[in-house]
Structure 1
Amino acid sequence: MTTRIELLKPTIAMLGSYVSALEAGWSPDNVRKEIAAREQLDAIKLNATAFVDGLDDPTASGGPISLPDGSTVARLPGIVRWIWDGAVSGAIGFRWRPGTAELPPHVLGHIGFSVVPWRRGNGYARQALSLMLEEARLRGLPYVELTVDPDNMASQRVIAACGGLVIERFRKTAAYGNAQALRYRIDLHD
């Protein structure tokens, strides 16, 4: 039986559970992994309220973001939701450009997700992605794109289970190390 999860807007009340997941070795960032987890722990120590508030930024008011190569780019509107089953069991983010489904070259996809290792294999990622697709529909997007490393079979299965089809194999930009990736598209028309 699959445990039902919820996607919740991050709050200070849930932050302890999120910190525990980070301290246990999980990272919400599939590209920068441990570096991103450490940066988040540092940001939480510095100002927990600002950290939590910054995760929900549908107007892109948070200022520029740093890419893995250290360069900075303009922030897109975006939201992060914590995957919740009584504790933070992962995170899923959604970013977009108002008025278009197209993304700038430095943005690898509309949606990214990560489930804590001790909850993987329980359908959490599929449920979270399905729920986030509803958010994308509400924003009027005709489709979303997600990218995945060619060896990440688990994420490929999750995306395919939610209607994703591979549209290209490509090399990530230099900011992401020029690595091979697969781009999936999920059509949001009913």
Structure 2
Amino acid sequence: MSGHLLVTGFGPFPRVPVNPSEIVARRLAAHPRLRRLLGDPPRLLVLRTAYDAIEESLVPALAQGPAAILMFGVATRARRVRVEMRAINRASRLFPDACGRVATRLSLEADGPSQRRSTVSIKVLTRLRGRDASCSLSRDAGRYLCNASYYRALREDCPVLFVHIPPLSQNSIRMTRLIEGAVEVADELMRETRRSACRKTRR
């Protein structure tokens, strides 16, 4: 395991010409405080909002062995930040991706489990709420690319978390608070990685 943090966001898609999840991911990956906390700079991946981007871009990034993965996506109808605790093995054939394609089947993985759950501690919500008190836990990451990418990332043997954000102006106070909260979450994810490594060493 190389020890780096992988931060992901999404590019534009129909009706969302500027995706705030990309802005959050980019600002977080370049955040000087996070770089000081981690020692090694995070690695950034902005995914095309297309189903084939999972195999083309996400899977190779996962193959580099991140120590933790923090993913962002936008929920266009949401009013608050949602910390997603699971992804399900389900896709929608109703909503086309940015390339105009829909999922080819209803299940994401033919032989995969019905759901995959994040093992991340509830502490991440506490630390995020320190910056945005309105954030909440969620068990429904949708049926679109956010859920599909999260489901795939949760196969990895490391802490993985997906955060859905509402539509936010890139210059808003709330955007600034969210990024500061994301620094706290990223730090907690890497702490969990270190705690897990210590437990394995003691066995």
Task: Compute the TM-score of the two structures, normalised by the length of structure 2.
Answer: 0.28
Q: Which has the higher contact order (CA 8 A, sep 6+)?
A: 2
More strand by share: 1
Task: Compute the TM-score of the two structures, normalised by the length of structure 1.
Answer: 0.29
